[in-house]
């Protein structure tokens, strides 16, 4: 597994881990407070919106991420890989 997310609901904590050199490293939010997948380009999560249960903001962040050139290139690589 290249990445995983742990949402500790009662503690209102969200942790996203990515595999680096046989160990999992905790990913940190960017300046906008977003966590972004290294394995799935364009997959972004607004952790604070999720903690606040603001589903509209969470979905908006996901939608924004999947409307990027990086995500489009990722989808195209998957399409080519599976059509071969």
In DSSP notation, 8-73 reads: ETTTTEEEEEEEETTEEEE----TTSEEE-SSSTT-EEEHHHHHTT-HHHHHHHHHHHHTSHHHHH
pTM above 0.85, yes or no: no
Q: What is the pLDDT of residues 53-67, one digit of tens each?
A: 899 999 999 999 999
Q: Is the pLDDT of residue 12 over 90?
A: no
Structure tokens at 49: 């919106």
The answer to whether 7 and 14 are in contact (CB under 8 A) is yes
Q: How far is CA 75 from CA 38, 43, 56, 68, 82, in A?
A: 14, 12, 24, 11, 11
What is the mean predicted confidence (pLDDT) over 12-33? Answer: 94
């Amino acid at each position: 597994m290249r990445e995983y997310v742990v949402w500790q609901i009662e503690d209102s904590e969200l942790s996203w881990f990515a595999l680096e050199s046989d160990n999992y490293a905790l990913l940190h939010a960017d300046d906008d407070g977003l966590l972004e997948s290294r394995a799935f380009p364009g997959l972004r999560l607004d952790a604070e919106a999720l903690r606040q249960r603001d589903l509209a903001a969470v979905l908006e962040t996901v939608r924004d991420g999947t409307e990027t050139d990086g995500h489009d290139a990722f989808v195209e690589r998957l399409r080519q890989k599976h059509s071969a």
